[in-house]
Every structure is written in C-alpha cells, then in structure tokens.
Amino acid sequence: MGWKEPVELKSLQSMTASFEMADGSAPDPKPLATGPTVESVPPLAHFRVHFTAQESIRLPEYSGSAWRGLLGYGLRRTACVTRQPTCTGCLLIHHCVYSTLFETPDAQGTPGGSPHPFILAIDPCAPRVVEPDTAFHLDLQLLGAGIQQMPYLIHAFGLAGARGFGRSGGRFTLTAVEREGTLGAEDWQTVYDATVGRYEALETVAPLVPPVPARAHLHLLTPWRLKRDGRRIGARELTALDIAHALYRRLRTLAAAHGGDPDRFDHRRLPTDPAALRLEVDWLRWHDWTRYSSRQEALMQLGGLIGEVSLEGPALAELWPALWFGQWTHVGQGTAFGLGRYRLASLR
C-alpha cells in the first residue's frame, strides 16, 4: 500500500525488515527489536523543478540561500492574504501556505518553532553561470502535509523567475516539474507541464530500503553543521556516534512535526560503546560559507564539514534505515538552505 495525499500514517507498510539492536543494555528506554519503519518517518516526496534561463544567471558560490530567498519571495506573494510584515501574531499562521512552509510555527504559534517541511537539495557541482536559453533544474523534498502544497510552490517559482536573481536580471521560466515515483528509484514522472498548466498529484509509494551493507560510505555533499554539547564539531572531532545522534535528532523532530513516530528516534536507544559503530575518514575538511541575512542585516558564517567517510560495526544494522532515509532529510543545521546533504555510495 502506498502513501496517499492526504496521508494516513496508520496504513503505511514497513520500511525494512527487523534488525537486532547492537546495544541491548540500555535500561531506559528499552532497546527496539526493529529499526525505524515507514510509520516512524514523515511521508516524503522528491521533486525536480525544470527551468529555462531567459537571461544570463550568475549564482553565488553556494546557491541554497539565494534559492530559498527567491522562493520565499514568490510564495509570500502567492499565499499571504493579510499582507502583514511578519507572521508573528497573524490570525492565519497555522493555515497559510507561506507560514507553514517558510515560518513553520509550533503549537503555540511561534514562527520558526518547528522544522520546515521542505528541503532544498542543492547540487554543489551545478554550474554557477547559466546562459540564456539553457535548461537547468532544482531538486527539493516536501514532507507530510507539505507534499500537497506543491502547486503553490509551482506558482511561487513562476513569480520568482519573473523577478530573477539579483539586480543584473537573471530571470528564468519554469517549464516542468517531475516527481520520483519511488524514493531512490530514479523513476521520474512528470506532474506538471507548463504548456498544459495542470498539476497531477501522485500517490506516494512506500520506499524500499536496500539491504544493510557491511560498510556504509557517505559523500558529504553540502556543509554539515553538527554540534556536541553545544559546541561545533570540526573535522578532527567528528565521531560515528556524532553522526548517529545528529541523524536521530533530525528525524525525531521531523516525525514529531510532520508525521511519524518520534520515539523511534530516541538517542538513548543508540549504543554508547564506540566499537559498536566505527568511523573511517577518507577525507574530511571544514568548508566556509558566508551569507548575508537581510532579516538580521548581518553576515552569517554557515560553514561545515564536507568529505567522504564510512560507517561500520554491529550497530550499523539498527541505524541503516534512518541513514538511508536521511539522504533526503539532510542532517544538522541549515537544512532549509540545503546544508547537511549527503549521498550513500553504490552498495557493494
């Protein structure tokens, strides 16, 4: 059975077979007999938005912030009906597409109090200069009820393209939107064609997690901003348990906000023995990234770790479903900008 829009989590299939817990000694909470399942994580859809450049486009070194700002501009113009300067105190904060996607409120109505239901999947190898009449694309993921808001984002991308990147122009047009039929399968299906102007929603099929490998090889594609005890983790300090804790923390907050079982991602279920999950570093370094925040009127340092690392050990089986799913949710801070993205290498 697949996920449908709107989604009923109780009907979802299991993501993967049972795995034994590597650490059976944790007294509270009791170790799980199985790893995370589809019911544990929010429904997720992977989209690819296709554009054609009308003018020469020059993107910054890291385009995630520019894309987020431009999309936010288009979505606010599309969805905001009160025209208040901020979402704070707005009567519609829990019902407006803009606020729920970009200023995701918590239960008390605090803007930004919950994790956003969208993730920009920035390709760090994409060309920074796009010439006129050249096709290019942007990937993004939507979570939970946010999947149903894709038509609003399509309209917002249209307004964003008419505005363009920066003062020098950089305008573009949206030509089509594809969606991956099954997560990770690369079976792209067109859900919107600009020449037709109609959006076709797809049923969300439960993903099939590959068998756990003896070793998981991770390519850290965009900067990872992880913390331990409130301090930023550098290349020399990173451990396998840092990765596991960051992944569980991310999926726990997403499950609590957008559907799923957050208790499946209690960090106390993870092993404490370093030998249970080991990290091998191929290469790892800190990559600096500075962006200007118009809201705070200040430069912000948003650097993080990039590189290639491997995980292995008896606890990998327990972590594997979350590790596989995390390729689309990202980890650490700045995920709405596309930070914290990684890809698992081809399984051997």
Using one digit for the tens of pLDDT, what is the confidence trace for 24-68?
A: 333 344 443 355 665 688 999 999 999 999 999 999 888 998 999
Same domain? For 128 and 219 the reply is no
Q: Are residues 237 and 318 in the same domain?
A: yes
Q: Which structural domain range is residue 277 located in?
A: 212-344
Contact call for residues 312 and 280 (beta carbons, < 8 A)? yes
Rg of the chain in Å (alpha carbons): 20
Per-residue pLDDT at 195 exceeds 90 = yes
β-strand partners of 137 = 50
Q: Is the pLDDT of residue 139 over 70?
A: yes
Nearest Cα to Cα of residue 119 among 140, 104, 98:
140
Q: Are residues 222 and 308 in the same domain?
A: yes
Same domain, 136 and 185: yes
Beta strand ranges found along the chain (DSSP E): 44-53, 57-58, 118-121, 129-130, 135-143, 172-180, 188-193, 198-199, 215-224, 227-228, 231-232, 278-287, 290-293, 298-301, 304-312, 342-344
pLDDT exceeds 50 at position 9: no
pLDDT of residue 110: 72
State how far the Cα of 40 lies from the Cα of 36, in Å rounded to an integer.
Answer: 6
Do 191 and 221 lie in a common domain?
no
Most confident by average pLDDT, 82-96, 201-215, 327-341: 327-341
Q: What is the pLDDT of residue 105?
A: 76
Is residue 262 in a domain?
yes
291 — pLDDT class (breaks 50, 70, 90) = low
Name the percent of the chain in helix, strand, coil, to the closest 5. Answer: 25, 25, 45
Contacts for 163 with CB less than 8 Å, ≥ 6 apart: 70, 73, 74, 171
Q: What is the mean pLDDT of the chain?
A: 85
pLDDT of residue 340: 97
Confidence at residue 109, expressed as pLDDT on a 0 to 100 scale: 64
Give the C-alpha distances (Å, rounded to integers) separating 192 from 49, 70, 76, 176. Answer: 9, 20, 21, 5
**What is the total count of domains within the chain?**
2
CA distances from 167 to 65, 137, 164 (A): 16, 21, 8
Residues 6+ apart with CB under 8 A from 23: 31, 269, 270, 271, 272, 273, 276, 315
The answer as to whether 32 is a domain residue is no
